[in-house]
Amino acid sequence: MAQKPSIPKGTRDFSPVEMVKRNYIFDTIKEVFQLYGFMPIETPSMENLSTLMGKYGEEGDKLLFKVLNSGDFISKVNEDQFREKNSVKLTTKIAEKGLRYDLTVPFARYVVQHRNDISFPFKRYQIQPVWRADRPQKGRYREFYQCDVDVVGSNSLLNEVELIQIVDEVYKRLKLNVLVKLNNRKILAGIAEIIGEADRIIDITVAIDKLDKIGLDNVNKEMFEKGIPQEAIDTLQPIILLSGTNTEKLAKLKEVLSASEVGMKGIEELETVFNYLADLDVTTEVELDLTLARGLNYYTGAIFEVKSKDMEFGSITGGGRYDDLTGIFGLKDVSGVGISFGADRIYDVLEQMERFPAETVNTTKVMFVNFGEKEEKYCLPILAHLRANGVKSEIFPGSAKMKKQMNYANDKHIPFVIMVGETEMEEGLLSLKDMDSGEQTKLTPDQLVEKLK
Amino acid sequence: MAQKPSIPKGTRDFSPVEMVKRNYIFDTIKEVFQLYGFMPIETPSMENLSTLMGKYGEEGDKLLFKVLNSGDFISKVNEDQFREKNSVKLTTKIAEKGLRYDLTVPFARYVVQHRNDISFPFKRYQIQPVWRADRPQKGRYREFYQCDVDVVGSNSLLNEVELIQIVDEVYKRLKLNVLVKLNNRKILAGIAEIIGEADRIIDITVAIDKLDKIGLDNVNKEMFEKGIPQEAIDTLQPIILLSGTNTEKLAKLKEVLSASEVGMKGIEELETVFNYLADLDVTTEVELDLTLARGLNYYTGAIFEVKSKDMEFGSITGGGRYDDLTGIFGLKDVSGVGISFGADRIYDVLEQMERFPAETVNTTKVMFVNFGEKEEKYCLPILAHLRANGVKSEIFPGSAKMKKQMNYANDKHIPFVIMVGETEMEEGLLSLKDMDSGEQTKLTPDQLVEKLK
């Protein structure tokens, strides 16, 4: 071989079979988004590094893929800077653009840049790849798709409700059983407020989350070891042991958080959301989970997470409300709420649960075996007729060996094969073979179209 | 403003309205590709630079976007190399990956890398962005989508015919009048052979192409000035003046090229393609055009180009047969043929001709005006019922001013708006307003679903 071809680590090729399965997921998600009035946007793969840097923390800055300036980039670096030989500093001189790291920051940039053309509330979805220079490992890629859906410019909790309805509808259509976990940042703020440990809320939620595994004593011990005062731990006991229905949990929380204005506001928000859901036909279980604290520094109200009930798989969808998304680009007081579907994880769940519908993989419905010029001439108008009726169909190009042609149909999961030889041509018929059952029937061209369309 | 947001020059954001128009083009193209048995693949945005470099000529190498290595990249450059301060040499030390420049080279890499998993002939399509560090100008972007469809591993001319059928079907569906120009590299090679000027074929086709504009004398003069001997120019006269139907042109070519084996082979190939087309229902005009020489060094058989007949717009689709696509990666003797649809140009033609169907822009069919909590409660189950029947619908989140809500519906091109006030709630009805005609009717929820679904 001249050159053994490969692709960069952490990236993937998608074969036709993988593509149709992925498109099944994306199409399902898109259809539901549109059903709820969301519309697509796309942003460029490259953003200015000034847009991206500093938005994902110090670690995030490192994980950005930077694109080298074109032309004689090094001539623009002055001699002192050059001699320093410092990769971080040099990067700012030789790279002005980076690949997007998520869809949230480009979306915030989009909203600010186009704010005069946008009619708020802006309901948009965006399905595009993102890139991260993470160490690749099983299930973690350097290029992967995100599917984000957000509403910005509306404080209504109806948006939160509709996002849960979207989750419900998407997973119903994908035939996956999921559990929606719901929390509210304001309740966590309330808890921190009443125990006087505002900056310890992550330690607390992490400890509480272990209750089932390690038991109450160990949870309390862990919190104490992390430096949370005994008095605060005592106050936390009813919250750690919170159980029962969502209504029961909220009632208990109201007692504990009665002194915290922000905490009570969080409870009210959750109650509103649960009341909406009770009136609507949402069959997916929605559970109040105080240990849910994802993206804490970012979210200001509702926090969502969706888990597969069919198998242990971590979060397959998540999101929340953020009150100042666009502030980083100078546009204040634009509240938003959104969720992101993890397409790669949904793919893995569907694959392992064997829930991909069988028909997704066969994209071509019927193949004509090619026996030679004369037979081809007989078949082509029938093929055209099938296609005119919307039947995905093909003829093997050229008269290869029968075995090769049948293997091709097999590999491509084509469910029907048509064979036309001397006999069929004389009779004006076609032999149709069902590749699954092996059954063979003779049909007129019209009967064939009728059967397959 | 904290930071005025912008995007890198030559890149674009796509708004919802632009997205739905673009998706109309992509969906139309994809549907036709699938109807002909083509299946999608995707390759990573980043390829190893070793895969990309040297494949697009010296100029192409410069136009590749290179991605900076992660981490302390500069420490891996040795001191001598570093001090040289040569951008080109340094690039090879600090960048191993680049953004794909087209879909052809990644496809060739894909075929070679996965050749043991592919059942040939491999009919694939690929719709993904590509990146080029070209100087941006009107209609030329640094990130743009390509839509490629290729068959590899089959010599059958039926593939050429099916690609023309695909062009015919796509533009029929897009309601654009186009002209397919067809040539064959072997005929050009034959012409070069009989006049003994093999490396002058580009100069010759460029000159002949000007016949309509500058006349025969000037064409001959131009060729002479370019150093083509008078004797060769004399031999070329019947070819320059070639006219009439495709059959007449081929008959004339047969006389002129009778001494050239390769030329006669090219004529035979074209005849085969025209014969196939005559038997099929292809209504798009296909014209033999000897001046068509795009990608000459690359193509080995058929050369296609599609032009809009509605307006002057250059090529909107093009391609051809290449006999050694995968040779660059060490897999010999794999012949392929393919075409590429220029989505940006098709967009511009459809836009200027106003041929986008009106319904593409209204993705939400109906919006409920939100008059307040009580009305919202009345509307939500009806909204859910509409959605359950597949009607894309939404309710304005929260009870904003009527004017704001109507503006929102207008801006979003929502064709119907529902208003529910006290009266409607008492009657158990809804008022439906047709935003186009202004007409307003009262309906029961069931009648509404029936009307809109």
Q: What is the pLDDT of residues B83-139, one digit of tens each?
A: 888 999 999 999 999 999 999 999 999 999 999 999 999 999 999 999 999 998 888
Verify cis geometry, omega within 30 degrees of 0, for the bond prior to B445.
no
Contact of A99 with chain B, judged by CB distance below 8 Å, is answered with: yes
- Whether the predicted pLDDT of B298 surpasses 80: no
A87:B73 CB<8 A = yes
Q: Write the CB contacts of B149 (distance below 8 Å, at least 6 apart in sequence).
A: B33, B38, B124, B125, B126, B163, B166, B338, B339, B340, B341
Contact of B333 with chain A, judged by CB distance below 8 Å, is answered with: no
The SS3 assignment for A304 reads strand
Percent of chain B scored above 70 by pLDDT? Answer: 98
Q: What is the mean pLDDT of residues B184-189?
A: 92
C-alpha to C-alpha distance for B221 and A392, rounded to whole angstroms: 53
pLDDT, tens digit (0-9, with 9 covering 90-100), for A404-444: 999 999 999 999 999 999 999 999 999 999 999 999 999 99
Q: What is the mean pLDDT of residues A163-178?
A: 97
Q: What is the mean pLDDT of residues B143-161?
A: 97
Distance from CA of B366 to the nearest CA of A (A): 9
pLDDT, tens digit (0-9, with 9 covering 90-100), for B4-53: 799 999 999 999 999 999 999 999 999 999 999 999 999 999 999 999 99
Q: What is the mean pLDDT of residues B247-276?
A: 95
Of A75, A97, A110, the CB nearest to B13: A110
Q: What is the mean pLDDT of residues B363-391?
A: 94
Q: Give the pLDDT confidence score for residue A184 in this predicted structure.
A: 95
Contact of B90 with chain A, judged by CB distance below 8 Å, is answered with: yes
Contact of A384 with chain B, judged by CB distance below 8 Å, is answered with: yes
Q: Give the pLDDT confidence score for residue B252 in this predicted structure.
A: 93
User: Contacts of residue B91 in chain A, CB cutoff 8 Å?
Assistant: 68
pLDDT confidence bin for B281, thresholds 50/70/90 = confident
Contact of B298 with chain A, judged by CB distance below 8 Å, is answered with: no
pLDDT confidence bin for B3, thresholds 50/70/90 = low
- For chain A, give the mean pLDDT: 92
Is residue B378 within 8 Å of B425, Cβ to Cβ?
yes
Q: What is the mean pLDDT of residues A116-132?
A: 96
Residue of A249, A267, A271, A248 lying closest to A259 (CA atoms): A267
Taking a contact as any Cβ pair under 8 Å apart, which residues of chain A between 232 and 261 contact chain B?
none
Verify cis geometry, omega within 30 degrees of 0, for the bond prior to A121.
yes
pLDDT, tens digit (0-9, with 9 covering 90-100), for B47-79: 999 999 998 888 899 999 999 999 899 988 988
Distance from CA of B235 to the nearest CA of A (A): 37
Q: Give the count of Cβ contacts less than 8 A between chain A and B.
A: 304
Is residue B6 within 8 Å of A48, Cβ to Cβ?
yes
Taking a contact as any Cβ pair under 8 Å apart, which residues of chain A between 8 and 67 contact chain B?
8, 11-16, 19-20, 23, 34-37, 39-48, 50-51, 62-63, 65-67
By the 10 Å C-beta count (0-12 exposed, 13-18 middle, 19+ buried), B34 is classed as middle
C-alpha to C-alpha distance for B40 and B156, rounded to whole angstroms: 21
- Whether the predicted pLDDT of B376 surpasses 50: yes
Residue of A nearest to B92 (CA): A68
Q: Give the pLDDT confidence score for residue B1 in this predicted structure.
A: 46
Taking a contact as any Cβ pair under 8 Å apart, which residues of chain B between 190 and 229 contact chain A?
none
Contact of B372 with chain A, judged by CB distance below 8 Å, is answered with: no
Is residue B114 within 8 Å of A357, Cβ to Cβ?
no
User: Contacts of residue B159 in chain A, CB cutoff 8 Å?
Assistant: 397
pLDDT confidence bin for A84, thresholds 50/70/90 = confident
B7:A86 CB<8 A = no
C-alpha to C-alpha distance for A66 and A72, rounded to whole angstroms: 17
B72:A51 CB<8 A = no
Distance from CA of A257 to the nearest CA of B (A): 27
User: Contacts of residue A169 in chain B, CB cutoff 8 Å?
Assistant: 387
pLDDT confidence bin for A1, thresholds 50/70/90 = very low
Contact of A82 with chain B, judged by CB distance below 8 Å, is answered with: yes
pLDDT, tens digit (0-9, with 9 covering 90-100), for A11-42: 999 999 999 999 999 999 999 999 999 999 99
Per DSSP (E only), the strands in B280-411 are: 285-288, 302-308, 315-322, 336-341, 366-368, 393-395
* Strand B336-341 with B315-322, pairing: antiparallel
pLDDT, tens digit (0-9, with 9 covering 90-100), for A269-321: 999 999 999 989 899 999 999 888 766 567 899 999 999 998 887 889 999 99
User: Contacts of residue B331 in chain A, CB cutoff 8 Å?
Assistant: 1
Distance from CA of A51 to the nearest CA of B (A): 7
Contact of B272 with chain A, judged by CB distance below 8 Å, is answered with: no
φ, ψ for residue A293, nearest 5 deg: -140, 25
Is residue B122 within 8 Å of B151, Cβ to Cβ?
yes
Q: Which has more pLDDT, B313 or A88?
A: A88
Of A14, A15, A45, the CB nearest to B143: A45
A19:B8 CB<8 A = no
Q: What is the mean pLDDT of residues B162-186?
A: 96
Structure tokens at B170: 């796509």
User: Contacts of residue A328 in chain B, CB cutoff 8 Å?
Assistant: 2-3
Of A70, A86, A279, the CB nearest to B377: A279
Q: Give the pLDDT confidence score for residue A207 in this predicted structure.
A: 82
User: Contacts of residue B39 in chain A, CB cutoff 8 Å?
Assistant: 16, 19-20, 363-364, 412
Residue of B nearest to A14 (CA): B42
Contact of B449 with chain A, judged by CB distance below 8 Å, is answered with: no
Residue of B299, B296, B316 lying closest to B307 (CA atoms): B316
Distance from CA of A329 to the nearest CA of B (A): 5
pLDDT, tens digit (0-9, with 9 covering 90-100), for A181-231: 999 999 999 998 988 877 788 788 888 878 878 888 998 999 899 888 998
Structure tokens at B197: 């000027």
User: Contacts of residue A366 in chain B, CB cutoff 8 Å?
Assistant: none
Is residue B153 within 8 Å of B336, Cβ to Cβ?
yes
User: Residue B364's Cα: distance from chain center in Å?
Assistant: 28
C-alpha to C-alpha distance for A302 and A91, rounded to whole angstroms: 38
Distance from CA of B41 to the nearest CA of A (A): 5
Of B23, B70, B279, the CB nearest to A377: B279
